[in-house]
Amino acid sequence: MNWYLKVISQYADFSGRARRKEYWMFFLFNMIFAYGLQIVALVADVPALLFLAVIYTFAVLIPSLAVGVRRMHDVGKSGWYLLIPLYSFILAVTDSEPGENQYGQNPKETQDVKLQKV
Protein backbone atom coordinates (compact mmCIF):
# COMPACT_ATOMS: atom_id res chain seq x y z
CA MET A 1 0.00 0.00 0.00
CA ASN A 2 2.95 2.34 0.66
CA TRP A 3 4.01 2.00 -2.98
CA TYR A 4 0.51 3.00 -4.10
CA LEU A 5 0.55 6.05 -1.84
CA LYS A 6 4.06 6.97 -3.03
CA VAL A 7 2.85 7.08 -6.64
CA ILE A 8 -0.23 9.10 -5.68
CA SER A 9 1.96 11.57 -3.75
CA GLN A 10 4.06 12.05 -6.91
CA TYR A 11 0.84 12.79 -8.82
CA ALA A 12 2.27 14.38 -11.96
CA ASP A 13 6.00 13.81 -11.51
CA PHE A 14 7.26 12.51 -14.84
CA SER A 15 10.94 12.91 -13.96
CA GLY A 16 13.19 10.42 -12.25
CA ARG A 17 12.97 6.66 -12.05
CA ALA A 18 10.51 4.13 -10.60
CA ARG A 19 11.66 0.65 -9.72
CA ARG A 20 9.73 -2.45 -10.79
CA LYS A 21 8.21 -3.02 -7.37
CA GLU A 22 6.81 0.51 -7.22
CA TYR A 23 5.27 0.20 -10.68
CA TRP A 24 3.72 -3.23 -10.24
CA MET A 25 2.45 -2.65 -6.70
CA PHE A 26 0.71 0.51 -7.91
CA PHE A 27 -0.71 -1.48 -10.84
CA LEU A 28 -1.97 -4.22 -8.48
CA PHE A 29 -3.69 -1.88 -6.01
CA ASN A 30 -5.08 0.25 -8.81
CA MET A 31 -6.70 -2.81 -10.41
CA ILE A 32 -8.04 -4.02 -7.04
CA PHE A 33 -9.66 -0.64 -6.35
CA ALA A 34 -11.03 -0.12 -9.87
CA TYR A 35 -12.43 -3.62 -10.38
CA GLY A 36 -13.55 -3.86 -6.77
CA LEU A 37 -15.67 -0.73 -7.15
CA GLN A 38 -17.13 -1.99 -10.42
CA ILE A 39 -17.99 -5.42 -9.03
CA VAL A 40 -19.61 -3.97 -5.92
CA ALA A 41 -21.55 -1.51 -8.08
CA LEU A 42 -22.86 -4.25 -10.36
CA VAL A 43 -23.68 -6.71 -7.56
CA ALA A 44 -25.37 -4.08 -5.38
CA ASP A 45 -27.01 -2.54 -8.47
CA VAL A 46 -26.01 0.96 -7.37
CA PRO A 47 -25.33 3.21 -10.39
CA ALA A 48 -23.70 5.84 -8.18
CA LEU A 49 -20.89 3.40 -7.34
CA LEU A 50 -20.35 2.71 -11.03
CA PHE A 51 -20.06 6.45 -11.57
CA LEU A 52 -17.57 6.58 -8.67
CA ALA A 53 -15.51 3.86 -10.40
CA VAL A 54 -15.36 5.97 -13.55
CA ILE A 55 -14.31 9.03 -11.53
CA TYR A 56 -11.60 6.96 -9.81
CA THR A 57 -10.31 5.73 -13.17
CA PHE A 58 -9.97 9.27 -14.47
CA ALA A 59 -8.43 10.46 -11.19
CA VAL A 60 -5.57 7.95 -11.37
CA LEU A 61 -4.94 8.39 -15.10
CA ILE A 62 -2.16 10.96 -14.66
CA PRO A 63 -0.39 9.11 -11.81
CA SER A 64 -0.57 5.92 -13.89
CA LEU A 65 1.07 7.63 -16.84
CA ALA A 66 3.65 9.28 -14.57
CA VAL A 67 4.73 6.02 -12.92
CA GLY A 68 4.83 4.36 -16.34
CA VAL A 69 7.13 7.07 -17.68
CA ARG A 70 9.35 6.82 -14.60
CA ARG A 71 9.45 3.02 -15.10
CA MET A 72 10.61 3.49 -18.69
CA HIS A 73 13.27 5.90 -17.39
CA ASP A 74 14.45 3.23 -14.96
CA VAL A 75 15.38 0.93 -17.83
CA GLY A 76 17.04 3.79 -19.72
CA LYS A 77 14.28 4.50 -22.24
CA SER A 78 12.17 7.54 -23.00
CA GLY A 79 8.63 7.70 -21.65
CA TRP A 80 7.36 7.68 -25.24
CA TYR A 81 8.00 3.93 -25.27
CA LEU A 82 4.72 3.57 -23.36
CA LEU A 83 3.00 4.04 -26.72
CA ILE A 84 4.36 0.68 -27.95
CA PRO A 85 2.23 -1.79 -25.95
CA LEU A 86 4.13 -5.09 -26.12
CA TYR A 87 7.58 -3.50 -25.93
CA SER A 88 6.58 -1.28 -23.00
CA PHE A 89 5.37 -4.39 -21.15
CA ILE A 90 8.72 -6.08 -21.79
CA LEU A 91 10.49 -2.97 -20.50
CA ALA A 92 8.20 -2.84 -17.44
CA VAL A 93 9.24 -6.34 -16.37
CA THR A 94 12.94 -5.75 -17.13
CA ASP A 95 15.32 -5.10 -14.26
CA SER A 96 16.61 -1.59 -13.61
CA GLU A 97 19.56 -0.17 -15.47
CA PRO A 98 22.39 -0.37 -12.91
CA GLY A 99 23.95 2.80 -11.61
CA GLU A 100 22.99 6.28 -12.61
CA ASN A 101 21.54 7.04 -16.04
CA GLN A 102 20.37 10.25 -17.73
CA TYR A 103 17.15 10.15 -15.68
CA GLY A 104 18.78 9.93 -12.26
CA GLN A 105 20.13 7.56 -9.63
CA ASN A 106 18.91 3.96 -9.54
CA PRO A 107 16.16 3.87 -6.88
CA LYS A 108 16.86 0.21 -6.13
CA GLU A 109 20.49 0.94 -5.22
CA THR A 110 19.44 4.00 -3.22
CA GLN A 111 16.96 1.86 -1.26
CA ASP A 112 19.61 -0.82 -0.62
CA VAL A 113 22.04 1.80 0.75
CA LYS A 114 19.34 3.13 3.11
CA LEU A 115 18.64 -0.40 4.38
CA GLN A 116 22.34 -1.05 5.03
CA LYS A 117 22.62 2.10 7.16
CA VAL A 118 19.78 0.96 9.44
Q: What is the pLDDT of residues 55-64, one digit of tens each?
A: 999 999 999 9
At 90, phi and psi to the nearest 5? -60, -40
Stated pTM of the model: 0.85
Closest of 43, 42, 6 to residue 24, by C-alpha: 6
Split at pLDDT 50, 70, 90, the class of 15 is very high
Cα separations (Å) of 118 from 1, 110, 113?
Answer: 22, 13, 9
Given this model, what pLDDT does residue 71 score? Answer: 95
Given this model, what pLDDT does residue 47 score? Answer: 86
Given this model, what pLDDT does residue 111 score? Answer: 66
Q: What is the pLDDT of residues 49-95, one digit of tens each?
A: 889 999 999 999 999 999 999 999 999 999 999 999 999 999 999 99
Given this model, what pLDDT does residue 113 score? Answer: 56
Is pLDDT of 107 > 90? no
